[in-house]
Amino acid sequence: MIKAFIEEAIKANRRLYRLIKDEIAPEHFSTRGLGAGGDISKEIDLVAEEILLSHLKRFGKIVSEECGEIGEGAATIYIDPIDGSENFVSKIPYFGSSVALQENDAVKVGIISNFANGDIFVKDTTSFRVAKLEDLVFSEVEENRYATIGIFERGYRDSLYTKRLQKKGIKYRVPGAVALSLAYAHYVDFVLFEGEMREYDIKAGLFMCENLYKYQYNDLLIVSKNRGKFETLKRVVLED
């Protein structure tokens, strides 16, 4: 089942990548109402969801940001059809999709794609690989030891943590797609996330970060590949 699921998820992501790259139309940018997750859905969200469902619904129950829960089965599949849809409609090149397969309360597969540059990350219980959606030539994800900046997802909503980071001279960016940012956690200095942690937002990304240093409590998540940076961030962000 795992192999077949990965194959179908990759097929769905390639369809979406090609649609966005070659067939995008003005209607894909239009607003379509409130999704199950509470955010305003864009047409591209619904199109992406339909494509993912057509490939994945036979594998189990779906939990999606747009339609909520549909179907049934022993496995649960968490999907964010377009992670960073506000970036998409604003033509900011940082948006993709997130898919996680969970069985017996454990995530077994995580697949996150960046439709802006064609990256696709695939993790199962034995490997964590990355490729381009154009050719699917996979290689193992390796840590980038040269990173000098981190990512602070939803940092634009925060004032307390931004002031603490600024005081210590800690550099970061706020790209606006949390699943993608977690997929890139092995490349950047750290990932900091402050806000509501919905399962379809973070399931696949956290699975990809399972071997990294992590702190998660209430609405705060800190992830880093470097223990020293991780401990520094905890002290800075959590100071009384």
Domain CATH number, residue 228 = 3.40.190.80
121 and 201 part of one domain: no
CATH number of domain containing 72? 3.30.540.10
Give the model's pLDDT for residue 130: 98
Structural domain boundaries, residue 65: 2-140
165 and 132 part of one domain: no
116 and 158 part of one domain: no
131 and 157 part of one domain: no
Span 108-144, pLDDT tens digits: 999 999 999 999 999 999 999 999 999 999 999 999 9
- Report yes or no on 145 lying in a domain: no
Mean pLDDT to the nearest integer, 26-35: 68
| Cβ-proximal residues to 83 (8 Å cutoff; 6+ apart), any chain | 95, 96, 97, 98, 112, 177, 178, 179, 180, 201
Angstrom distance (rounded) from CA 96 to CA 93: 9
Structure tokens at 208: 């990809």
The percentage of the chain sitting over the pLDDT mark of 90, rounded to a whole number, equals 74
Span 153-175, pLDDT tens digits: 988 887 788 999 999 999 999 99
Give the model's pLDDT for residue 37: 55
28 and 113 part of one domain: yes
Give the model's pLDDT for residue 195: 87
Boundary residue ending a domain (91, 116, 140): 140
The percentage of the chain sitting over the pLDDT mark of 70, rounded to a whole number, equals 95
What is the torsional sign of CA 15, 18, 20, 25? negative
Angstrom distance (rounded) from CA 104 to CA 75: 7
Angstrom distance (rounded) from CA 190 to CA 19: 32
Give the model's pLDDT for residue 26: 80
With 70 as the cut, is the pLDDT of residue 240 above it?
Answer: no
With 90 as the cut, is the pLDDT of residue 196 above it?
Answer: no
Boundary residue ending a domain (89, 115, 140): 140
Q: How many domains does the chain have?
A: 2
Q: What is the pTM of this model?
A: 0.93
135 and 36 part of one domain: yes
226 and 157 part of one domain: yes
Helix (H) or strand (E) holding 40: strand 40-42
Boundary residue ending a domain (109, 140, 171): 140
